[in-house]
Amino acid sequence: MPGSIPVPESGARDDVSEICRLKYRYLRTLDTKQWDEFADTMVAEATATYSEYLQFESREAFIAFMRNTLGPHVITEHRCDHPEIDIDGDTATGTWYLADTVLIPEHNMLLRGAAFYSDRYIRCDDGRWRISHTGYERTYEVVLSLSDLPSLRLTSSRWGLIARDSGLESVEREPEAG
């Protein structure tokens, strides 16, 4: 029927489901800063492109950057939905809608944004799907000064940052390993 959406076969549906779980694990481990598990979502030779100026040619370089810029002093929330995933044997492509929030207390900054991720996946020898390339193109990004939000209070954080009358303070606490 013209204009109909093809329904993937059962095996392809299973692959799509596994790729969705992979992307969700990528986001969870990014936000919880579980860097070893985050690394396991990608092949060693994975690449990443976030702009003309922010490109990585290996998983190691990408993770080093994320670890440096999104350490425990930065609170993040990344959400992806509306996946469009196409399977071709042991490779796949995916487009995802991203909405993210980044809170950087030491810079008095809150970032909100949206983007479309473009990912490539490969089925590895162990049978698991992993990311071979990831990146996104922003649809928008806004940055707010926390000073412009005087009623904003961070009342809980996995990394022990909490609000005091004098501003955000760190509470000595390491998050539990997940």
Model pLDDT, residue 88: 97
Mean pLDDT of 70-86: 95
Tokens of 78: 């990344």
Residue 102: strand pairing partners:
76, 111
Model pLDDT, residue 7: 46
Tell me how far apart the alpha carbons of residues 88 and 130 are, in angstroms, rounded to a whole number: 14
DSSP string, 126-161: TS-EEEEEEEEEEEEEEEEEGGG-TT------TT-E
Confidence tier at 78 by pLDDT (50, 70, 90):
very high
Q: Name the strand (E) or helix (H) holding 25.
A: helix 10-31
Model pLDDT, residue 176: 56
Q: Return the closest-CA partner of residue 159 out of 174, 148, 144, 178.
A: 174
Q: What is the CATH number of the domain that holds 21?
A: 3.10.450.50
In a domain, 72, yes or no: yes
Domain that holds residue 94: 10-139
Per-residue pLDDT of 44-60, as tens digits, reads 999 999 988 899 999 99
In a domain, 155, yes or no: no
Mean pLDDT of 110-137: 98
User: Number of folded domains in the chain?
Assistant: 1
Q: Are 62 and 30 in contact (CB under 8 A)?
A: no
pTM of the model: 0.82
In a domain, 173, yes or no: no
Give the range among 4-18, 76-90, 119-133 with minimum mean pLDDT.
4-18
What's the mean per-residue pLDDT of the chain?
87
Tell me how far apart the alpha carbons of residues 158 and 177 are, in angstroms, rounded to a whole number: 11
Whether 156 has a pLDDT exceeding 90, the answer reads no
In a domain, 18, yes or no: yes
Give the range among 17-21, 115-119, 151-155 with minimum mean pLDDT.
151-155
Mean pLDDT of 14-40: 97
Q: Are 122 and 43 in contact (CB under 8 A)?
A: yes
In a domain, 34, yes or no: yes
84-101: b (≥16 Cβ within 10 Å) or e: ebebeeeebbbebbbebe
In a domain, 1, yes or no: no
In a domain, 167, yes or no: no
In a domain, 2, yes or no: no
Model pLDDT, residue 21: 98
Mean pLDDT of 128-133: 98
